[in-house]
Structure 1
Amino acid sequence: MEDGEKSTELSDGKYSTASPDINDLCSCINTKISYIKKSLQLRKIDQEPSLKTVLGKIAHEMFLLTNILNKLELEFHHQERQQSQLKELQESIERDYQEAQHLGENMPIHLPRAIPNSTVSLTVEQCKDVEAARGKKPAKDPKSIKEASFITAEEFENVPAYMRGRLSYNQVNAVIQEINKAVVSKYKIMRQSSKAMSSAIRNLYFRFQEEETKDTKGEFFIVEADIEEFTQLKADKRFHSILTILRHCKRVREIRGSCLVRYAVC
């Protein structure tokens, strides 16, 4: 044999010499012939009774698979939309954070001080009333807001020991001061013009009106919500213990009704 040739066994058992390119061509043709034979066999599969059941199952599984693929496609688009929305939300939060950080780093030195909840703005007419009331005694001024007087040391000593407990004279008078603060803040709001009220003050005003009853007419009273709104006190066990002392010393009295306890200034 010459170089570049090799022996190839033919179908009849004989050998012949051929180049590698011819062998590859023959292999490719044989493969295509095999595919054609298989295609011809599959064309007749539905004509064989033994294979009809298998073919039906395959068709059913293909149908189920198609439905699953459709659902996966819908879920993919849904997740894609959610991802886009989350990305927009993230960008919005980052912008807000950067703006807040910028404001924090560039805060003006001359900003006005925040007005605490207990401070209530007065109208011009009420300011005139306050100025006029300075030269008058509170008892003679019909527009004055009644406040509880402080407990004297002698009164405190006469309070039963079980009421006082570990409370001190200064602690009791400190609560009286906060109660007066809440009373004054409340009734300043009650005397404001509705046009001068902010939304938050107007909501308080409506609550104050709802808490009024025939028994509270002419009284100056507050409720626990006012204590927490206008002062730093908490309506806890200690606070109620001090209220017991104040009732005993006739600084406040309770007016009950509509499932609400009102503390009126005596």
Structure 2
Amino acid sequence: MKINNLVDLHCHILPAIDDGSPSLEASLELARQAVADGIHYILATPHHMDRHYLNHAGDVSAAVKAFQVELDANDIPLTIFPGQEVHLNGQLMENVDDLLGIDASRHYLLLELPHEMVPSYLDEMIFQLSCKGITPVIAHPERNAKIIAEPQRLYKLAEDGVLAQVTATSLVGTFGEQVQRTAKEFVKCGLVQVVASDAHTLRNRGFAMTKAYEVLNEMNSKYPERFATNARNLLNGDKIKARRIEVPRKQRKHWLS
């Protein structure tokens, strides 16, 4: 199946701002690849407040405006919105005014956990964000080592109203069988609500959105429309339709069919 006008809510497409793209030329090539993959809208989400990058809200907004000018000049039919992939840290609430949401009203925030762990203060941070009317959307939980080992952790977060984003390349198997298995399990259990590319110019970090939607369709013919609608609703700051969640199977080192 082919889906056009896809919304990609996690993409490192801005030039020379993080590890996503080294130059304007590389970013324009990423943009062409996105359009070829059926994407029409991208939320630019450079890393923010991790160990390597600080991308302040105003700087990101300015970079998006400048890049949109280049896209239009090169006749690339892509619309870019400013966002951030905000890394979880203890200073988050002190800097909340410098955070860009998935939507302009910051009802939703793309939140990245450390790759190997789930910090003990995550629950407190989620509560503090909720007091500000912000719902975290956890980026690529299927690639977090602790959540892979203990997938019920994501279920507990979902019970608290937290949303999550699965990576397209995870669903199609680029990150290996274990990550793909975990990604599909989270989709099946209703623990991830949206698929996004997390595209970089790095090797094996392309878009794969059309292929991911094909995987979703193979799993359940209702999934593609649901995930596409969720992406639009998150970008617009609208509520997404609640779905029953299930406890995922515990991971094992060796799986028997």
Report the TM-score range of the alignment, normalised by the length of the smaller protein.
under 0.3
Higher relative contact order (CA 8 A, sep 6+): 2
TM-score by length of 1: 0.19
Q: Which has the higher helix share?
A: 1
